[in-house]
Structure 1
């Protein structure tokens, strides 16, 4: 009796082992097939929506690089030129300061040169007109510099909607497949469902870094414009009073 029980248990164990091994083999084969899916295959699976999403991804990289290079504070404000401008304002060297601005064109020098153009070397300087010209030029330049930053916001808002449109397109195709072939062939739905998921994921992958970059560059540029106003205000005070700022005097000593 005990031998029969032992033999039966051994046979069941052998059957279970073979079954488990077969299932593990099938799972490993399926995993291997999944791993063989390349990035290009996923892009092709995304369908038509991947073309505009690809263009958006390239535009995102372009504007991030452009803003990263162009919105640096040392490029926008040229702090290395401030001591020279301060000395020129003290000595009322308007023409020389204007020429220096033209030789080093950037946000600070463009705005400041617009104010210097309202100055006169033959009569008393009207600071109200100078400040008015500076305000006009700063508004113009800030609008120009904000365009590449705003483009990142547009990409960040549009990419998820385009991905969602691709998702809807894929689901429509899936329901059309169900209507024509029924539910008996799930592999026929895989491509349509894959299109829906890939486009959604791609849209989010483009939108998230775009929005993060947008807020970073916008806040950085706002800080730079505030510093711009403070620097130009100090230069105009020196031009009006003919006295060096306290910090500059301390540096000279």
Structure 2
């Protein structure tokens, strides 16, 4: 119970601005956990290009059900177009595969921008708390002069705690957002390489069919 009491005292001392800072922090960390979980699952369940080409060449074309964008692209392409056509159709094959890729990649950067915005908003809320704390301090000075140190300390504590809270939310949020953005870009690059290899395979198979 003591940690909860200590946290409650900090929130109470920080004043009303602490509530939106806490909301921003909770919201941001929920998104960070969701995105980090997605990145870990994608990294753990990668579909090799060689295996993807073997699936395309096979008659059954069973795509493993794993949390991998490349597997999702291949499953969508086979289920919605390639398997139904049963024959190589050249340019339509390439275009539909590009549609399958875009369908997967459009969700890659989901939550990243929101995380960065929330992390950037936290120090601004802390600054707002600083202003309200200093306003309270000057109000006390106006009423009692500089002789009431205890009353003045209340406003100063509010200003410092909100500033500290805003920075404690912002710094790890910005770092996590930047790291995850780099990881997502690497995954995106792998998918683009995968798209190029499969497109080349489709073009090669189409040329075989037309010869």
Instruction: Tell me whether the two structures share a fold, i.e. TM-score over 0.5.
Output: yes
Give 1:197-236 correspondences, 5 Å limit: 197-236=160-199
- Within the alignment, does 1:45 sit opposite 2:9 as a pair? no
- Counterpart check, 1:111 vs 2:73: yes
Deviation at 1:84, TM superposition (A): 3.4
| Count of residue correspondences | 199
Equivalent residue in structure 1 for 2:108, among 125, 145, 163: 145
Q: Distance in 2 between matches of 1:86 and 1:131?
A: 15
Which protein is bigger by CA-based radius of gyration? Answer: 1
Do 1:89 and 1:238's aligned partners in 2 also have CA atoms closer than 8 Å? no
Structure 2: gaps of 5 or more residues: 206-211
What's the CA shift for 1:218?
0.6
TM-score, structure 2 as length reference: 0.81
Deviation at 1:192, TM superposition (A): 0.8
User: Quick one: structure 1 residues 121 and 139, their matched pair in 2 at CA, closer, same or farther if it must change by over 3 Å?
Assistant: closer
Tell me: CA distance 1:82–1:203, structure 2 relative to 1, closer, same or farther (3 Å).
same
Compute the RMSD of aligned alpha carbons. Answer: 2.6
Q: Which residue of 1 aligns with 2:54?
A: 87
- Contact 2:42 / 2:67 at 8 angstroms: preserved in 1? no
The one of the two structures with greater contact order (alpha-carbon pairs below 8 A, sep at least 6) is: 2
CA contact (8 A) 1:77 1:228 kept: no
Judging changes above 3 Å, is the alpha-carbon distance between structure 1 residues 221 and 118 closer, same or farther for their aligned structure 2 residues? same
CA–CA distance in 1 between the matches of 2:126 and 2:48? 48
Give the TM-score of the pair, scaled to structure 1: 0.69
2:125 aligns with one of 159, 162, 169: 162
Question: Structure 1, residues 64-96: CA drift from partner, whole Å, max 9, x if none?
Answer: 221221013x626843464432213234x3xx3
Name which of structure 1's ranges 78-87 and 46-55 shifts more when overlaid on structure 2.
Answer: 78-87
